Structure 1
Amino acid sequence: MKKTPVYIYMRYAHNVGIAVEAILSNKVKSMLTALGIMFGVAAVISMLAIGKGAQQEVLEQIKLVGVNNIIVTPVVQSFNDNSNGDSENNQSKKYSRGLHRMDAQAILETIPSVQRVSPVVSINYHAVKMGKSYPVTLEGVSPDYFEMLNINLDMGKQFSEQQTDNGMPVCVIGNNIRNRFFNQENPLGQYIKCGQVWLKVIGTISKRDFTTSASDEMGISTSDNKIIIPVKTMLMRFKDRGSINPELMNNMARGGSMFFMGGSNDDEESSNQKETSTNQLDKIIIQVENTEQLSATAEVIKRLILRRHSNVYDFEVTVPELLLKQQQKTNEIFNIVLGAIAGISLIVGGIGIMNIMLASVWERIREIGTRQAIGASRKDIIAQFLAESTLISITGGLIGIIIGVVLANLIHLMADIKTIISFYSVFIAFGVSATVGIIFGYIPAKRAASQDPVESLRH
C-alpha cells in the first residue's frame, strides 16, 4: 500500500503527540532539562545586546565628532622647568605663542587635502536674562563648525559672513539654554548677557543624543549648554589669550614666567591670578576630504604647526574617527568573545538534554518495547524521542528569549550600559537552541530505536 502524504502526516503527528504527553507527565524533569537552553539563549541575547549597544555608541560618537575630522589641541608646558638638562632648557627658552588663529589659517591655505577648518575658543560663563543666571559654555567658532560636527538648527540661521568678519555680538544657543530662558517665547531676536556683552540670538541648536562615554579629548561634547558665537566676536569682545605684552615675551625667553593679559571683566574669567597659558585657541578642528587621507594629513599638520611653533611640542594632533574605529574593532572582537562564551552555555545545555534523554530511554525501555511490539517502526521511535528533545529545546528557547530581553533591559537600567536587542540576535539564539535540541536529541533517539523489543519487554 502506497503511503500518502496525509498518512505520513498523521503518523508523525501521532509520534509528536506521544512526545508532548511524555513532557507533560514529567513537567519538573522537562523544565530542569530545559534550564541550560533557557539561560544559554538568555546569555546570547543579552551579550549580543550589550555588543550592539557598544557599536551603536561608537557610531553615534563618530557622528558627534564629524566625519574625517582632525583635532589639534594645545599642551600646556611649564617654561620654568629646567629639570631635564641643558638641551631641554634650551628648547624651553624657544618662544611659541601657542595655538593661534594664524595656525588655522595656515593649515587651510597650505594643505590641499584640508576641506574646512574651524578655530575654537571655549570659556565658562554665566549667562543672564531677566535676572535669571545659568552656567554656560561660551564657544567662539567659524561658520564651518556647524557642518563639520553635524550640528543642526531647529530655528533661525548660522552666522553670516558679515557677522563673522566684523565680530558682531550674535549667538546660536543650545537646547537647554533655550528651555531655560525662552521656554514660553520665540528666542530669535532676543538678547542674552554674558559678562558685559549683550548677544543677539539668531538661531537655536536641535537637541542631540549624547552618550556618557563620549569625551572632550576627542572633540565630543554636547551642544545643549553652549552659546556659540563667531570666533572673532570672542577674541574682540570677551577674551584673547594671544594678546601678549612684548616685554613679557622677553621675560619668558630669559626663563621668567608668562601671564595672561587682556580679556573681559567677567567675575568668573578674569581675576588677579596669573595664567601661564598663551594659547589663543582651545582647539582647531580640521576636516579632510577623504578618510584615506586622515593619517597622512595629520602628520603634515603636525610638521606644519611644529615649524610655526619654533619646534616646541606645545600641541597635540588627534584623529578621533580613527581612534573610534579602532575602538569599534575592539568592540567587535569583544562581541565575538561574548557570543562564544554565551554559545558554550547553549552547548552545555544541549549536553544536558542528551544526558537526560539517554537516562529517559533506559527508564522507558518497556514503553519502547510495547510500541515496537504493536507495530511501531524504528523511524517512529526516533521521531518520538527526537520530537521530545526538540520540543524541550524550543520551549527553553522561547522562555530564554523572554529572560534575555528582561536581562538586557535590566542591564541598561541598573548599569547604565546601552543595550540594543536586534531581531538577528533573537533569531540566532532561538535557531541555535532548536538545532541543539535536534543534534543532541538524535543520539538518545537512535539508541531507543535500536532496542530489541523482546529484551525491552523483559525489563
Structure 2
Amino acid sequence: MKAYVQRYGHDVISGLEAIFTNKVKSFLTALGIIFGVAAVISMLAIGNGAQQEILDQIKMVGVNNIIVSPTETSINEDADESGSADGVQISTKKFSKGLTLLDAQAIEEILPTVSKVSPVIDFNYSAILNGKSKPVVLEGVTNSYFKLFEIDLSNGDLFTQEQNENGFPVCIIGDNIRKVFFNQEDPIGKNIKCGQTWLKVVGVIERRDFTASASDEMGISSTDNKIFIPAKTMLLRFKNRSLVRADEVEELMSRRNQESGSSGSENLNQLDKIIIQVAETEHLSSTAEVIRRMMLRRHNGLYDFEVTIPELLLKQQQRTKKIFNIVLGVIAGISLIVGGIGIMNIMLASVMERIREIGVRQAIGASRKDIIVQFLSESTIISVSGGIIGIVLGVVLSKTITAIFDISTIVSVFSIIISFGVSVLVGVIFGYIPAKRAAEQDPVNSLRY
C-alpha cells in the first residue's frame, strides 16, 4: 500500500505542478464548473425558498380548513323557463339573508366531521388612546379562530365563555397595536377606544412573520394590525349588517339611484366569512361538498356564497413550484455538463501540447497507469477546486438575491452535496478520455515530436 501511495502520489503531484505552471489556463478551464455549481445551488435555493413559502402559508391558513365566504351575485342552481344558458341564471324571485351567525352554528352542530368553526366579521375603524390614533381592522371572532390559525398569545388569555356569549367589550390586540399604544407598559387590563366603544385588553398576540404574497382570499392575513373581539360583541356593540334600519334603506336606495349602472354592491351579509376545520384530511373534500349543499338549502337555492379549500389550492401551487424547481435544477445542471466538456477539450489540447513530456516520462519508466493517473488527477483537481469555489459563489449569490430582490432563498445541504458530487464526477468522466489518449502515445514517436 505504501508503495502504491508513493508511486501514484508522485503522479498526482506532477498533475498539481502542471496546473500551477498553467494557472490562467487552469482557471479558465474551471470557470465552467464554477458557474455550473453556483447556478445549481442558487437555482435550487430559489426553488426551496418558494416551496418553504408555500408551506408557511399552509401553516398560516391552518390545517384542513374550509372557508365559506359571500359572493356579490346570487345564482339560482335550478334553471326555469326564464333561465339563461348552461342551466344557471341570476335569480330575482328568491330571497337569502346571506351569510349569518346561524349558518356557522348549524355547520358546527350538524356535521360530525367538523372539529372547529369560527365566524369572522371585519370592519375598519380607528383605535384611539391618549391622543394617538391608528387605523385598524376590527375583527369579530370566537376562540376557535386562534386555534384554527395556530395563533399564540405573548401575554394574557383568550376570551372567556361568558365574554363570548354575552358580548362583553373586551379585545385581543396585535403586536403593532401594542407597540403604538402600550410600548412602555403592560396592556393587559387597560382600555382602548375603537369607534365609540371602549374595549378592555385581555390578550396580546405574538408577532408573526407575514409574507406579502399571501392571499387574504385564502384566509391569510397579518394579525399585527388587528384588534380581535368576540363575534357577538361586534354584532351587539358595533354593527350588525343583518339589521337594516329605515334610514339605512333610504340611504342605500338614494346611493343606488345616484350610482345606477355601477357594478359595485354593498356587502349586506352578517358575516364576512366562516372558517371551518375538518378533523381528518381524507374528509376535507367530502365535507366541503356537504357544506355547499347544506348552505344552498339554507339560502333558498341561491349561490350567494363560495366554498374554498385553501390548503388544496396551496398544495397545488406547491406541486407546480416543485416541478419548476426541478426544471431550474436541470437547466443549471446542463451548465455543469458544458463545463465538463470544456475540461475535456482543454485536456485534449493539453495532451497534444505535452506529447514530448509524456514520451520522456514513459522513457524513464512511467507506465500507462502513471500517465492516466497524472492527467486524470489534473482534471479532477480542477473540477474539485472549481466545485468548492462554485459552492461559495452559489451561497453568496443566493444571499445577494434575497437582499436585493427580496426573494426568499434557502440553501440546502442536499443541493451542495449534489452539485459538488456532480462536479467531481464530471471531472473524472470527462478527464478520463484525454488521460487515456495520453497513455496510448507511442514513447518513441513522442520523443521525436
Short-chain TM bin: over 0.9
Identity across the alignment (%): 64
User: Normalising to structure 1: TM-score of the pair?
Assistant: 0.91
Q: Counterparts of 1:23-34 in structure 2 under 5 Å? A: 23-34=19-30
Whether 1:61 aligns to 2:51 is no
1:168 corresponds in structure 2 to 168
Equivalent position SS for 2:227:
strand
Report the Cα distance in structure 2 between the residues aligned to 1:289 and 1:211, rounded to whole angstroms: 27
1:413 corresponds in structure 2 to 403
Report the Cα distance in structure 2 between the residues aligned to 1:318 and 1:403, rounded to whole angstroms: 43
8 Å CA contact 1:120–1:141 kept in 2: the answer is yes
Following superposition, the deviation at residue 87 of structure 1 comes to 2.8
Report the Cα distance in structure 1 between the residues aligned to 2:49 and 2:372, rounded to whole angstroms: 43
Following superposition, the deviation at residue 276 of structure 1 comes to 3.2
Structure 1: any 5+ residue segments left out of the alignment?
A: 80-84, 261-273
8 Å CA contact 1:142–1:231 kept in 2: the answer is yes
Structure 1 residue identity aligned to 2:36? G
2:151 corresponds in structure 1 to 151
Whether 1:294 aligns to 2:284 is yes
Q: Counterparts of 1:262-411 in structure 2 under 5 Å? A: 276-411=266-401
Report the Cα distance in structure 1 between the residues aligned to 2:411 and 2:248, rounded to whole angstroms: 60
Closer, same or farther: CA 77–238 of 1 in aligned 2, 3 Å: same
1:263 corresponds in structure 2 to none
Following superposition, the deviation at residue 92 of structure 1 comes to 2.5
Following superposition, the deviation at residue 348 of structure 1 comes to 0.5
Q: Counterparts of 1:190-269 in structure 2 under 5 Å? A: 190-244=190-244
Structure 2 residue identity aligned to 1:309? H
Q: Counterparts of 1:434-453 in structure 2 under 5 Å? A: 434-453=424-443
Per-residue CA deviations over 1:311-355 (Å, capped at 9, x if unaligned) read: 111111110111111111111111111110011000000011001
User: Normalising to structure 2: TM-score of the pair?
Assistant: 0.93
Closer, same or farther: CA 391–90 of 1 in aligned 2, 3 Å: closer
Per-residue CA deviations over 1:58-87 (Å, capped at 9, x if unaligned) read: 1110110011000111111389xxxxx943
Report the Cα distance in structure 1 between the residues aligned to 2:266 and 2:415, rounded to whole angstroms: 54
Report the Cα distance in structure 1 between the residues aligned to 2:90 and 2:133, rounded to whole angstroms: 48
Report the Cα distance in structure 1 between the residues aligned to 2:254 and 2:278, rounded to whole angstroms: 35
8 Å CA contact 2:33–2:387 kept in 1: the answer is yes
What RMSD over aligned residues (CA atoms) do the two structures have, in Å? Answer: 2.2
Whether 1:20 aligns to 2:10 is no
Structure 2 residue identity aligned to 1:44? V
8 Å CA contact 2:12–2:373 kept in 1: the answer is yes
Equivalent position SS for 1:71:
strand
Equivalent position SS for 2:83:
helix
Equivalent position SS for 2:73:
coil
8 Å CA contact 1:71–1:320 kept in 2: the answer is yes
Q: Counterparts of 1:85-124 in structure 2 under 5 Å? A: 86-87=82-83, 91-124=91-124
1:51 corresponds in structure 2 to 47
Structure 1 residue identity aligned to 2:408? K
Report the Cα distance in structure 2 between the residues aligned to 1:74 and 1:372, rounded to whole angstroms: 85
8 Å CA contact 1:53–1:420 kept in 2: the answer is yes
8 Å CA contact 1:386–1:441 kept in 2: the answer is yes
Equivalent position SS for 2:320:
helix
Report the Cα distance in structure 1 between the residues aligned to 2:367 and 2:302, rounded to whole angstroms: 88
Following superposition, the deviation at residue 259 of structure 1 comes to 8.7
Structure 1 residue identity aligned to 2:211? T
8 Å CA contact 2:74–2:303 kept in 1: the answer is no
Per-residue CA deviations over 1:356-386 (Å, capped at 9, x if unaligned) read: 1011101100000100000001110000000
Structure 1 residue identity aligned to 2:165? D
2:261 corresponds in structure 1 to none
Closer, same or farther: CA 95–66 of 1 in aligned 2, 3 Å: same
Following superposition, the deviation at residue 93 of structure 1 comes to 2.9
Report the Cα distance in structure 1 between the residues aligned to 2:323 and 2:196, rounded to whole angstroms: 53
Structure 1 residue identity aligned to 2:204? T
Closer, same or farther: CA 63–415 of 1 in aligned 2, 3 Å: same
Closer, same or farther: CA 399–118 of 1 in aligned 2, 3 Å: same
8 Å CA contact 2:72–2:265 kept in 1: the answer is no
Equivalent position SS for 2:91:
helix
Report the Cα distance in structure 2 between the residues aligned to 1:201 and 1:137, rounded to whole angstroms: 15
1:41 corresponds in structure 2 to 37
Structure 2: any 5+ residue segments left out of the alignment?
A: 76-80, 257-263
Report the Cα distance in structure 2 between the residues aligned to 1:389 and 1:93, rounded to whole angstroms: 81
8 Å CA contact 1:258–1:276 kept in 2: the answer is no
Of 417, 438, 458, which residue of structure 1 is paired with 2:448? 458
Following superposition, the deviation at residue 247 of structure 1 comes to 12
Report the Cα distance in structure 2 between the residues aligned to 1:222 and 1:104, rounded to whole angstroms: 23
Following superposition, the deviation at residue 246 of structure 1 comes to 9.4
